[in-house]
Amino acid sequence: MEQEKPNIAWHPAFVEAIQLELEDYRENLEFIPEFPLTAEPLKIDCVVIKKKKDVIIKKNIAAIFREINLLEYKSPGDYISVEDFYKVYGYACLYASFRKIHVANMTISFVESRYPKKLLAHLKRIRKFAVEKTSPGIYTVTGDILPIQIIDSRKLSAGENLWLKYLSNELDPLTLIQVSNEAARKDKLTETQRAQSARRRELANKAVLVPMETDLVLCELLKLRELCEKRRQ
């Protein structure tokens, strides 16, 4: 009998990863997960709003950011189709209309864990947009009033984008140890928390002999977010 695949809540983890990637700018940004566009169930995976319009975010995934930034995420194994592109583009137009925001003050980011070959080909051949690889894994699309970028999270730099790059169901134990170590370093864990982190690393080492459980990585993201929140209070 084929083993049933676990139902992993990828989208909440994606929002956590985005917040951790932009942790240094937390005071200047507002994060709204699953933002409802209308009374009907139309939602954007994440909206990142600049609290101060003139704040400069020196982060590769936010280089195109303006006042209002819409992010659409696809779980591992899924991808951004041409239809998805227009759906989210439509969401941006709805947001601008309902919120009385000039569309030029918005951006759209698509995040997936594969190379968007068909979508990029469509944007270049049909829409006549220019596509430029501005950094590893990040493709900037120009030619429209809306700045757009498509991110292949697999190709991101681990040094620059640890949390997004490793939001995956194909991590090896050594990578999980790296994530755990970074969590300990970033948040200056207490002795008890360090012991917990060490225990997770021990479990990761044992996991060499068994299939990796992605829940461990998602748990690391959520626990680190809780620690960051406590530190601010």
Block mean pLDDT (10 aa), the chain, length 233: 67 86 90 77 89 91 96 94 96 92 96 96 97 97 97 93 85 72 62 52 43 55 62 61
Residue 61 lies in a domain: yes
Where among 165, 198, 214 does a domain terminate?
A: 165
The predicted pLDDT at position 36 comes to 77
Residue 138 lies in a domain: yes
Q: What are residue 129's phi and psi, to 5 degrees?
A: -80, 155
For residues 55 and 123, state if they share a domain: yes
Residue 68's domain comprises 10-165
Q: Are residues 103 and 21 in the same domain?
A: yes
Q: What pLDDT sits at residue 132?
A: 97
Q: What is the pLDDT of residue 41?
A: 72
Q: Which of 123, 148, 165 is the last residue of a domain?
A: 165
Residue 204: per-residue pLDDT: 44
The answer to whether residues 123 and 158 belong to one domain is yes
Task: Please give the helix or strand (H or E) that residue 172 lies within, else none.
Answer: none
pTM over 0.75: no
Asked whether 106 and 115 are in contact (CB, 8 A), the reply is no
Same domain, 101 and 71: yes
Distance separating alpha carbons of residues 21 and 83, to the nearest angstrom: 28
